[in-house]
Structure 1
Amino acid sequence: MTNRRRPLQHRDPWENLASDEARRVYEEGRHDFFWIALEDNMPGLMLRLASMPQLTPRLPKLKNLMVSFRPAIGGSAFVLGLKERSQVEIFETLCRDVVAAGEAGNDVEDALSRALQRTHRWHHLLRGGRLGGLSVEEQRGLVGELAFLRVLVSDLGSETAIEAWTGPSGSSKDFELIGSCVEVKTRRAAAKPFIAISSEDQLADVEGSRLFLRVINVASAVLPEGQSLHDHVGMTAKLFEQNGSVFEAWEEALYSTGYDPENTYDDRRWLLGAAADYEVVGSFPRIPLPLLPGIEGVRYSVSLEACEPYKLEGDLIEAIRKGLENE
C-alpha cells in the first residue's frame, strides 16, 4: 500500500530552495502543500488554492510570523512565512502540524478550513493558552462575561465594549469604562445565595469611578437544548467582524481567557437566566482594604441577601452612560 503521507527526506525543508521553486511537503499528499522561499529568503509554507475564498477568513496575527493569502500560478494560495530565521525549528513544527490538519480535509476548501483552524490554535497557544480546556465554573464565568459584553456592544458600540473588557488582561475588574467599573459574577439559580470573590481587589473602590456588580443566573446541563460555549463565543464574535482592529482586540481578549476553539465544549449547554445589579459603595459587604500586613491571596463569599440594600435603582447601562457623559 502506498504511504500517502510519506514526507520528502530533507533535513531542512527550505535547504537550497530558490525563490521561484516549490517543494511538495508530501510526495502523494491529498492536497497541494508546498515548502516555499518567500521574499528575503523567508521560509514559508503554501497551500495552493484554485481561487481566493469568496469570503476572506480572518487571519491570526502571530509575532515573527506572516499569515496571508497571495496570488499563485493557476490561482491563489494560503501562505505562512517566518520573519525570524532563528525560530526555524519551531516554525517547521508549526507547519507540519498545520499540514497534518489540512491533509485530513475532504476537499481543498475543507483543507483550508482545517489549516486555518490549526493556525488559530497555534496563535492561542503562543499567546499563553492552555490545552486542558476551561473548567465548568470557568466556562460559566466566561458565558456571563460574554453576555454582558454583548449588552455593551448593543448599547455602546463594539470599540467601546471591547476596550472595556479588561478582565482577560489581568485587571481586578472584569469591565472598566470611564467613570465606572463592572464586576460580573455568575451562579447556578438553585445554588446557595452566595457569590465567590476571588481576590481582595475585586470589590475594592476605584478612584473616580462607580463600581457595579452584576450577578447572572447561568444554568448548565449536558443536554441537546440551549447553547454551547462555542455558540456563545460565535454569536459574540459576529458583533466584532465589521472592524478588523476591533476583531483583533476581541480575539486577543478571548484567547487570554484560556478559551481554545478546538477544545470539546459541545456537550454542555448554557442557559442565561435573570440578572441583578448592585452598586458596591459604602458598607457593601466586602473585606475592607488595606489588608493587615502578612495577609494576601484573600478569597471569600458574599451573601446576596446582604447585598439587597445596595441593589441598583434604574438601568445599569444608563448609569454607565452617565459616567461616560460626565467625563
Structure 2
Amino acid sequence: MSSIETPWTNMRAPRTGALTTILVDQEQNNSWYWIRCKDGQFGVAIQLPSDAVTSTASIKGTSKLNIARVNDMNGEHYLGVVIGASELATVFYRLCLDLMSACQFSTSPEQIVAILKRRVLVWQRLFEKGRRKLSPEECLGLISELKFLREIWIPDVSTNGVLGWQGPTGAAQDFYDETISVTVEIKSHAFDSSVVKISSREQLDAEGHLFLTAYPGGLSSDGNGVTLNDFIEETRTMIPSSQYAAFDELLLSARYIKDDCYDELYFELGEPRVFLVENDFPRLTGDNLPSAIGRVKYDLDLVLAADWACAISEISARAKG
C-alpha cells in the first residue's frame, strides 16, 4: 500500500444499510472492519455486544473525529472511529493499525472499549491541535527517554514499567515511581555542548530522590546510528505485551505517529551523565524564587554542576533503599 492508498480509497458509501464494510483480517482475535458510512465518513469499527457499544455514550465526537455506533440490518452492533477529511486518511490509517494492534491481546469487550476510549481522546487532541511532525531535536529527546526506559528504568529501577514514563502526559518530570520515591528527569544535548534547558520551576523540584540524566547526542552524518521508527519498534519488544496499549498512547501523547520521514534521520547517543538533585544543586524552584515571578526557563551548564554527578547505578541503589 503506497503512502496515498488506504483501505477506504475504493470503498463506496452504502446503497442500502448504514455501512460498507471490509473485514480487516480473518485471523485476528477480534472482528475489525474497515468501514464507510452513508455520509461519506470512513474509519475502522469492531463488532461488539450492544451493551458494550452503549457504554461508550459518554465519548463525544469532534469536528475532525467522530464515533460511529451502528446497528445493521442483520442485528450486528458496530463501534467505530471515523473521519471525513480525506487529507488525514494516511495518518488516520496508521492510527487505526495501532489501535487494532493495541487490542489484539484484549480478551473482553470491556477491555477493548477502555482502550478505544483512551485512544480516541488522544486522537482528538492530536487532530484538534493540528499534526506537526517532530523536529530533529524532539526526535533526539524522545529517543533519549526511550533509551533510559528500556536500559535503566525497566530492568534496574522500577516494577511499574512503561507506566512510570510520565513525560508525555505533561508531568513535571519524565519518570516517577511513588512506591520507591524515585523521580528522573531526562535531558538531551549536543555532543559539543554541556548545556541543557530547564523548562519550569517544577522540573528540578520533587519529593524523594530526584535525578537529572543527560544524554549527549545528535544527527549522524554517515548513516550510522538509529532511526526513531526503528528505536521505537526495538523498545516495543522489550516491554510486556500487557503494556503495549499504554506504550502506544504515551507515544501519541508525545506526538509520535509512525511516518516514513523518521526513517531518513539517523541519531547517535553517547553515555549519559547523571546528577543527584538535592540540597544546593544549582536550580530555580518555588522555594528560592520570589512569588512575583511566574514561569521560568533557563539553561543549566552540567560542567558547573559536576559536584552533584553520580554513577547511573545510584538510581537503582536509591530505589532499593
Give your verdict on TM over 0.5.
yes
How far apart, in 2, do the equivalents of 1:125 and 1:117 lie? 12
Q: 1:285–1:307: 8 Å Cα contact kept in structure 2?
A: yes
1:52, distance to aligned residue in structure 2 (A)? 1.4
How far does residue 312 in structure 1 lie from its aligned partner after superposition?
1.5
Unmatched 5+ residue regions in structure 2?
Answer: 1-8, 34-42, 69-81, 100-118
1:1-327 equivalences in 2 (<5 Å): 8=12, 13=13, 17=17, 35-36=19-20, 45-47=21-23, 49=25, 51-52=26-27, 67-68=45-46, 90-91=65-66, 94=83, 117-120=94-97, 125-128=123-126, 130-151=130-151, 152-156=153-157, 160-178=160-178, 179-191=181-193, 193-204=194-205, 206-207=206-207, 209-221=208-220, 223-240=222-239, 242-243=241-242, 246-262=243-259, 264-290=261-287, 291-313=289-311, 315-323=313-321
- C-alpha distance in structure 1 between counterparts of 2:32 and 2:154, whole Å: 20
Distance in 2, matches of 1:58 and 1:155, equals: 38
The CA deviation at 1:219 is 2.1
1:306–1:272 distance in 2 versus 1, CA, 3 Å:
same
Q: Tell me how far apart the structure 2 counterparts of residues 303 and 58 of structure 1 sit (CA, whole Å).
A: 52
Cα displacement string for residues 218-269 of structure 1 (whole angstroms, at most 9, x for unaligned residues): 12135432211111111112223522xx111111111101111136212111
Instruction: State the aligned residue count.
Output: 258
CA deviation after TM superposition for structure 1 residue 115, in Å: 8.2
Q: Is the 8 A contact 2:211 2:315 kept in 1?
A: no
Q: What residue identity is the alignment partner of 2:234? A: M
2:96 alignment partner AA = T
AA aligned opposite 2:254: T
Q: CA deviation at 1:137?
A: 1.5
Shift of 1:132: 1.4
Secondary structure at the counterpart of residue 153 of structure 1:
helix
Q: Is the 8 A contact 2:191 2:216 kept in 1?
A: yes
Q: How many Å separate the matches in 1 of 2:165 and 2:239?
A: 13
CA deviations 1:104-153 (Å, max 9, x no partner) are: xxxxxxxxxx9852525895632436421112221111111000010222
When the two chains are superposed, the root-mean-square deviation of aligned CA atoms in Å is 4.0
Amino acid corresponding to residue 196 of structure 2 in structure 1: I
| SS of corresponding position for 2:219 | strand
Which ranges in structure 1 are unaligned for 5 or more consecutive residues? 19-34, 37-44, 60-64, 71-79, 102-113
Q: 1:94 to 1:304 in 2, by over 3 A?
A: same
Following the alignment from structure 1 to structure 2, what is the Cα–Cα distance between the partners of residues 142 and 100? 25
Q: Which residue of 2 aligns with 1:111?
A: none
Instruction: Specify the structure having the higher radius of gyration (Cα).
Output: 1
Q: Is the Cα contact below 8 Å between 2:173 and 2:183 reproduced in 1?
A: yes
Question: Is the contact made by 2:32 and 2:46 (CA closer than 8 Å) also made in structure 1?
Answer: no
TM-score, with structure 2 as normaliser: 0.67
Distance across 2 between alignment mates of 1:203 and 1:153: 22
SS of match in other structure, 1:176: strand
- Alpha-carbon offset, residue 271 of structure 1: 1.0
Report if the CA contact (8 A) 1:219-1:273 is conserved. Answer: no
Q: Is the contact made by 1:175 and 1:181 (CA closer than 8 Å) also made in structure 2?
A: yes
Residue 27 of structure 2 aligns with an amino acid whose one-letter code is: M
With the length of structure 1 as denominator, give the TM-score of the two structures.
0.66
Work out whether residues 199 and 299 of structure 1, in 8 Å CA contact, stay in contact via their aligned partners in 2.
yes
Distance in 1 between residues matched to 2:290 and 2:217, nearest whole Å:
35
Alpha-carbon distance change, 17 to 163 in structure 1, aligned in 2, over 3 angstroms: same
Q: Distance in 1 between matches of 2:62 and 2:203?
A: 43
SS of residue in 1 equivalent to 2:126:
coil
Provide the C-alpha distance between the structure 1 equivalents of 2:154 and 2:61, rounded to a whole number of angstroms. 39
Residue 167 (structure 1) shift: 1.0
